Amino acid sequence: MLTFRYVVVDVFTDRPLAGNQLAVFTDAREIPEQLLQPLAREMNFSETVYVYPAAADGHVRVRIFTPSNELPFAGHPILGAAFVLAIPLQLHEIRLETGAGVIPVLLDREGPRIVFGRMIQPVPPWRPYEREAELLEALGVERSGLPVELYDLGPTHVYVALDSEEAVAALEPDLAALARLEVGANCFAGSGRRWKTRAFVPGHGVPEDPATGSAAGPLALHLSRHGLVPFGEEIEISQGEEIGRPSTLYARVEGSAERVERVEVGGAAVVVARGEFRLP
């Protein structure tokens, strides 16, 4: 029998049983390649992380799987894995090697306990989304208050601005139609520092995501590029309430529309369980 140990962590929350669930297999060296996707499907969280020794200048290398496919990068898996791995190492910064490069995560501590983490995300390219009409129809909305644009971090996210937080909460999208578009559909509303969002990613096996770290940075960039949030100002994003997993994410973009210098996404996380698979 082979034994594979994992940790379950709730990410973008400071209390258990909220936020976005994540499984972290802390030593994946002996897990056969053909079992990585089935194990992620068995966990059935938005993402599962497998940890390997570093191959470059990071502390570790990670691979990220949704229930249906592997991703080069995703936000809550990076933050959650950083909390899990940095606790015994007593690090204030941990560098995770991903398919999108090395991602630094800066960690705030109170004694031995990590209370907050900030990941430095890659700056995503963006472009107008050419299937806007199909997206709006699948979401059941007539228009977006801002240009509908796609940001690419490995996972691709498209943003639709709605008139109010109530309109975001009331969404009942056609998930089958959204799955055919194969993008993350992010609908948001708010003002100033506080924003509400919902993310639908059925094309990757995630009907609705409780907290989408890879979408939080591009959302802050989208808002700053279109003049709703000053560059350098941190926003607070609420997500997941409609599916019983309330989450809080923080994001900030430094620079300007002409030269984006830094994209930072932060939040808390809590370890809630440990377990193991025993397989022949």
In this structure, are residues 167 and 217 in contact, taking their beta carbons and an 8 Å threshold? no
In this structure, are residues 157 and 183 in contact, taking their beta carbons and an 8 Å threshold? yes
Largest CA distance in the chain: 57
How far apart (Å, rounded) are the C-alpha atoms in residues 216 and 142? 24
Q: Which residue is catalytic, options 33, 47, 254, 261? A: 47
Structure-token pair, residue 258: 């002409």
Cβ contacts of 234 within 8 Å, gap of 6 or more: 193, 250, 251, 252
- Tell me, yes or no, if 208 is annotated catalytic: no
How far apart (Å, rounded) are the C-alpha atoms in residues 49 and 81? 7
In this structure, are residues 58 and 199 in contact, taking their beta carbons and an 8 Å threshold? no
Instruction: Supply the residues annotated as catalytic.
Output: 47
